[in-house]
Amino acid sequence: MSSLASNISDMATGAQTRSPTVAGEAWGLIHRLAMSQKGRFVALAHEFDLTPMQMGALNSLDPGAPVPMSELAGALHCDASNVTGIVDRLEARGLVERRGAEHDRRVRMLALTEEGARVREVLAARMSEPPPALAGLPAADQRALRDILRRALGA
């Protein structure tokens, strides 16, 4: 691991903090677990001949609910000019289509095609498969972790 990657990992886990709070340590561990899966998600995107950003775009779009391109840019945390290229490639694959907005024809709405909705569903199912580190925990630990995270997200 590079020095920079090690420092980022240490910051995320609280390893360089003298007395991390329990919450800080928990957050660092959640971050490490999520980051350990990055390669898995990149490989999944490539399996479907998508880039990770294209996969993120498909995941952000709801079937039957077209959104303006600017909204997709916000969901992806990128500039609208980047979304144009992402959408161009998804459109060329027949996964999304651009439509004029009913309220303003200048606004381009993005909608999943039937094939896009199908691919999105398969991707969502595959992305929701827990990593072996979680799947291997005893059922009681899995339930406890789930319940704790639900409470944290509901707070």
- Give the CATH number of the domain where residue 55 resides: 1.10.10.10
Helix 22-36 vs helix 3-13: crossing angle, to nearest 10 = 140
Helices (H), 14-138: 22-36, 38-47, 52-60, 69-76, 80-92, 114-127, 132-135
Would you say residue 107 lies in a domain? yes
Of the given ranges (1-15, 91-105, 126-140), which has the lowest mean pLDDT? 1-15
Q: What number of other Cβ atoms are within 10 A of residue 142's Cβ?
A: 14
The pLDDT, as a whole number, for residue 93 is 96
C-alpha triplet 47, 50, 54: angle, nearest 5°: 140
Q: If we measure between CA atoms, which residue out of 21, 12, 71 comes closest to residue 4?
A: 12
The model's pLDDT over 35-94, given as tens digits with 9 standing for 90+, comes to 999 999 999 999 999 999 999 999 999 998 999 989 999 999 998 888 999 999 999 999
* Residues ≥6 apart with Cβ < 8 Å to 106: 100
Identify whether residues 57 and 123 lie together within a single domain. yes
Token pair recorded at residue 148? 């704790």
CA proximity to 87, closest of 54, 109, 117: 54
Query: Strand, coil or helix: what is 7?
Result: helix
* Residue 14: inside a domain: yes
Structure tokens at 82: 């980047």
- pLDDT tens column, 103-136: 877 788 899 999 999 999 999 999 999 999 999 9
Report the pLDDT value the prediction gives residue 107, as an integer from 0 to 100: 82
Q: Tell me, yes or no, whether 67 and 89 share the same domain.
A: yes
Query: How much is the pLDDT for 86?
Result: 95
Establish if 142 belongs to a structural domain.
Answer: no
- Do 71 and 122 lie in one domain? The reply is yes
Pair (101, 72) in one structural domain: yes
Do the domain assignments include residue 147? no
Give the model's pLDDT for residue 108.
Answer: 84
Is 145 within a domain? Answer: no
For residue 67, the enclosing domain spans 50-129
Q: Would you state the structure tokens that stand for residue 28, as one six-digit string?
A: 């660092």
pLDDT of residue 121: 97
- As a whole number of angstroms, the distance between CA 18 and CA 134 comes to 28
Higher pLDDT: 131 or 102? It is 131
86 lies in some domain: yes
Say whether both 25 and 63 belong to one domain.
Answer: no
- The larger pLDDT score, comparing residue 148 to residue 105, is at 148
Q: Judge whether 154 lies within some domain.
A: no
